[in-house]
Every structure is written in C-alpha cells, then in structure tokens.
Structure 1
Amino acid sequence: MPIATEAQFTEVYRAHYEDVLRFVRRRAHPMNVDDVVGETFLAAWRRRRELPENARPWLFGTARNLMLNANRGMRRQSALVVHIGRTATATADAHDPTAGVDSRLELVEAWQALAAADQEVLALHVWEDLGAKEAARVLGCTRASYSMRLTRAKRRLADRLGHSAATASTALSLSTR
C-alpha cells in the first residue's frame, strides 16, 4: 500500500497512533515514549512508498528496533563509565580500599556532568579505541579539530575531578594518539 499523499499518511497515522503508543508505553522508559513514537512515524513517512498493506506490524517492528537501538546506546554509555571507573580505580592507592570507591563515584559524577559532545569525543577515544584520524572521520571533522576537542574534553573532565589535565589523562589512560 504505497502512500502517495499526505492525506493517506494521515489516515495511517490516525489508524495506528494509539496502538503504537500503547506498544511503546509497555516497553520503553516513560521519558522515551514520545520520542520513540515520533521516530517511528517519521520512519514511516520517509518509507511511505514501501509500507505494507497492513502497516501496524511494520510500525511495531520499527518501534521495537528504535527501542533496541536506544537500549544498546545506554548500555554502551554505562559500560564506558564502568571502564573509565575501573581504570581510575586501578590507579588508586592500594592501601586505602575506600579510595577506589570514592574515586569511581567522583568519576561517574564528573562524567555525567560533561556535555554530550565531550562524552562522545572521550567515548570514541576510550571505549571505541579509535585513533585521531578514525575518530575525526566519525565526527566529520579534521584530525586537528578532533584532537582539540579531545584535549578540551579531557581538560573539562579533569576540572570536574579536581585534577590537572595531565594527571587525569594519565589516570584515565586518555592520552592522545
């Protein structure tokens, strides 16, 4: 059932919006429901000429895939925080077992306070283990621009941790490549 007009799409939207909304509400975090539903119908609009006769299962599948992608992203983000925390804990004083815990909590708090752009640059470097050239390609910028962003992100993280940028970089193994 290729959709050729806006009126036809509106008809599909009205017919299936409530079902998709209920589907997503049962599966997604309440803060994400509207985004997932909106993205689902945006995908439907973009692929309107390819929608099957019964669009409902297609819409559910699309919503499901969007939720899975969002969950993978959140797991990667959490894993990065844990990875950085482990690195920081490894550099903590071995004679003070609470130093590692305190350091890790401080790091998680500092990470969460960073802007998303800083988190992305640091994640490409630490989690994805990309060199400057590859990370710059991912971000669509020059290698020099990426290196500057990485340096600034490290500095902001170090400031939040109360360390010098050099100390924080060493502790977190965030040296530039």
Structure 2
Amino acid sequence: MAIDTEDEFTDVYRAHYEDVLRFVRRRAHPMNVDDIVGETFLAAWRRRSELPEDPRPWLFGTARKAMLNAHRGQRRQTAVAVRVMENGGDDSYDGMIEAEDRMDLVAAWRRLSAADQEVLALHVWEGLTDRAAATVLGCSRAAYTMRLSRSKRRLAKLFGPTSQTTSAPALTR
C-alpha cells in the first residue's frame, strides 16, 4: 500500500489513530503515550511507501518497538493488569469474572513473564488474528500460535489452583 499523498496518509492516520492510542495506553506510562503514538506515526510517514495493505499490525509493531526503547528494563505489562482491575474489565468480560476471581487473575497475570503477557494481550485486548499478532512480534504465525498456546497454559496453571473457575475466562473470545 504505497502512500503517495498527504491526503492518503491522513486517511490512514484517521483510520488507525484510536487503535494505536488504545494499544499504547494499555502498555505505556501515561506520560509517554503521546510521544510513543507520535513516534509511531512519524515512522509510518517516513516509511509510507513501504506500508503493508493492512497497516494496523505494522503500526502496532512500530509502537511496540518505540515502547521498548522508551521503557527498557521495565515490566509495563503489570500496569495492564492493574488498569483492567481498576476499570472493572473490558465490556466483554463484565459479569464473567467475580471480584475474587479477578484478584486471582491479576495475581496470576503478574506472575507471568513479560513475553507471556504480551502474547496474551495481543490476543485478548487487541483482538488481533494470529497472523497480525505475529507481525507485531516479528515472528511467524506458527511461532505466535505456539507462544499463545503455551502462554494460555501457563496462565491457566497459575490461575487455576486458587480459583473456583477451571480455566482463565479472560482467554475465551
């Protein structure tokens, strides 16, 4: 999808800005969100002739790299779980998880590695297909699918023993 004009880029920006903003807000410190989103779209502008037909996964991948640069050494995924708890969860989960189970899920989430948290967040919160999530992570679809399966098992193992629920409800869509 070669973008030749400013108007074409504006259309891409308008179509994907909110998604990129939500993606970054879930992962980055609030003070860094605007800078990271700005860097993401600046990179898109600079590489506009190389953008794929569906730029959303590419934008997420670029935002992810900008966050890694801005937050090297920090475990930003813990903030994702805390924000979900503070906000009462995404609408799709309302009523599915009791308060006690939510606390158990947050505790299990915090015990996961940052890599497992990222794989699960791309699937659950961003709703990306396996192929799109693989693009974000810079791996093959098969590698992402395997990582997702393993991450789900690890979360279920951490979540299962302390919960009355037999599986992690947040993983079903």
Bucket of the pairwise TM-score, normalised by the shorter protein: 0.3 to 0.5
TM-score w.r.t. structure 2 length?
Answer: 0.46
Q: Which structure is higher in RCO with an 8 Å CA cutoff and minimum separation 6?
A: 2
TM-score w.r.t. structure 1 length?
Answer: 0.45
